[in-house]
Homo-oligomer: A and B are copies of this chain.
Amino acid sequence: MKRRLMLVSNSTLYGGGYLEHCQQQIQDFFGKEVKRILFVPYALHDRDAYTKTARNKFKTLGYEVESVDETSDPVEAVRKAEGIFIGGGNTFRLLKALYDSKLVTEIKKRVLQDGIPYMGSSAGTNVSTISINTTNDMPIVYPPTFAAIGLVPFNINPHYLDPNVNSKHMGETREQRIIQYHEEPDTPCVLGLREGCMLLVEDNKATLLGCTKARLFQRGQQTTEYEPGSDLSFLLTDAQ
């Protein structure tokens, strides 16, 4: 299977600029062959402003950005894309817009069959997985399904957050929420990507990159911590 994915937990790390913490990995990932990246700004309300932010950043890294929202035919834009970047924001809004624009199937085809590189951050990482069942976002719109593009056979929880032991807030912790997900039948692994880390997938190889650890939740099993540099290729086989 051709497949090149860069799935980033968060677009901005505390104290840094937009995509600053992963800029080296972005350049390594898209390399010198890709000149022009198709950007999908659907997760934020102000798509023009969002495109400008992404365009400015990618320009400093040596890439042109074309927004799918600026084209008359989004499906055709995906068909011609050399590489795709889906930015973060609200995951429900993003997934609904991807279905409304009929991009889900086309992106999947381009990435898995044609092998063009796909980068996602936050919500853009969520929609690359099996489903958005493990997003942190508020369900502000109703998508036609929670099934997502399915570029990998597991789920991700971006912005994964450890419990704050000093908190007096009684809402569920992130871990408790993921455990609730795994109370449901036939639910896949969930990789909790802390802010600062990202998953690089190349064909059937998956590697954790960045500066923070990831936490893996498997239904009915103990959770496991992985350091940056870990080989997580086992997640790519369907029956984990």
Flag A165-187 by CB within 8 Å of B: 1 or 0 each: 00011111000011011011001
CB closest residue in chain B, given A172 = B137
Interface size class of A (residues with CB under 8 A): 35 or more
Closest Cβ of chain B: how far from A89's Cβ, in Å? 8
Bound Cα distance A58, B7 (Å): 48
List residues of A (108-147) whose CB comes within 8 Å of B's CBs.
132-142, 145-146
Bound Cα distance A142, B135 (Å): 13
Instruction: For A181, list chain B residues within 8 Å (CB).
Output: 138, 140
Binds B, one of A8-16, A25-33, A69-77, A99-107: A8-16
| A195 and B180 contacting across the interface, CB-CB below 8 Å | no
Residues in A lying within 8 Å of B, measured CB to CB? 10, 12-15, 45, 89-90, 92-93, 132-142, 145-146, 159, 161, 168-172, 177-178, 180-181, 183-184, 187, 195
